[in-house]
Amino acid sequence: MVLQHVECEHLGVFEGLLIRRDISYRYVKLYEGESIPDLGPYSGVVLLGGPMNVYEEKEHPFLRQEDKLIKSALRRGMPLLGVCLGAQLIAKAAGARVYRGRQKEIGWYTLYLTPEAGSDRLFQGLNAEMTVFQWHGDTFDIPDGGVRLAGSSLFPNQAFLVGAAAYGLQFHVEVSAEMVREWVECYRDELAALSGSVDPEALLRDADRLAAGLNVNASRICENFVSLLK
């Protein structure tokens, strides 16, 4: 099950990897009012990003539905992969605090894996440092009993494992260069408000230069997540 919060934030390069592995999946388009189905037929859940915040349940009632679904999945030990907003939703459902960071992190940044990530199933085969794409303003605490797996210089909590197989990734590993171009257009008002601190043209230039390397890491993470599905 793939929970999608806004049209421009989709599976990206993960989609082609799932197709090549013959893994069937279903988008649930929450932004179009689709209801979240029962977990029964599914072996895992991917929760994608979006511009809303986890604490905006009044404005986006589907966030409350997702919270219930995540808690149910955690009780079952079902594999979860949350990206950006998806990671924040998992953190919140697991009892951790989600809150606004001291500044927005938008662009290409170095990600540092923790020693614990070296033996983790999702991060197996990845280098201790890698360049990833970021687009967020909120952050989270690591849930009680969770394991911190990655950080950046601006946001120390960039990835975690909680429960049997629920992973939150604050960064965007799923993006292609084309997807970054799509987001620059989709979120042009946000970028305009940040004029002087974020350069859209630099985002695009760096995407053309760095996305291929990121896609290699996306392939490894996707393969590792698929191996958790039963």
**Distance between CA 18 and CA 222 in Å, rounded?**
8
Report yes or no: 105 and 152 within 8 Å, Cβ to Cβ.
yes
- Going from the N-terminus, what domains does the chain have, and what CATH number goes with each? 2-226 (3.40.50.880)
Instruction: Give me 70's structure tokens.
Output: 């995540």
**Per the confidence metrics, is the pTM higher than 0.85?**
yes
- HSE of 77 in the Cβ direction (CA atoms, 13 Å)? 3
Q: Give residue-wise pLDDT tens across range 90-131.
A: 999 999 999 999 999 999 999 999 999 999 999 999 999 999
Can you give the pLDDT of all 230 residues of the chain as single tens digits?
A: 999 999 999 999 999 999 999 999 999 999 999 999 999 999 999 999 999 999 999 999 999 999 999 999 999 999 999 999 999 999 999 999 999 999 999 999 999 999 999 999 999 999 999 999 999 999 999 999 999 999 999 999 999 999 999 999 999 999 999 999 999 999 999 999 998 899 999 999 999 999 999 999 999 999 999 999 98
Instruction: Give me 189's structure tokens.
Output: 């008002």
Q: How many CB atoms lie within 10 A of CB 132?
A: 23
Which residue do the tokens 């500044």 mark? 103
Report yes or no: 88 and 51 within 8 Å, Cβ to Cβ.
no
- HSE of 166 in the Cβ direction (CA atoms, 13 Å)? 26
Q: Give residue-wise pLDDT tens across range 179-200.
A: 999 999 999 999 999 988 999 9
pLDDT at residue 203, as a whole number: 95
Q: In one letter, which amino acid is 163? A: G
Active site residues: 84, 172, 174
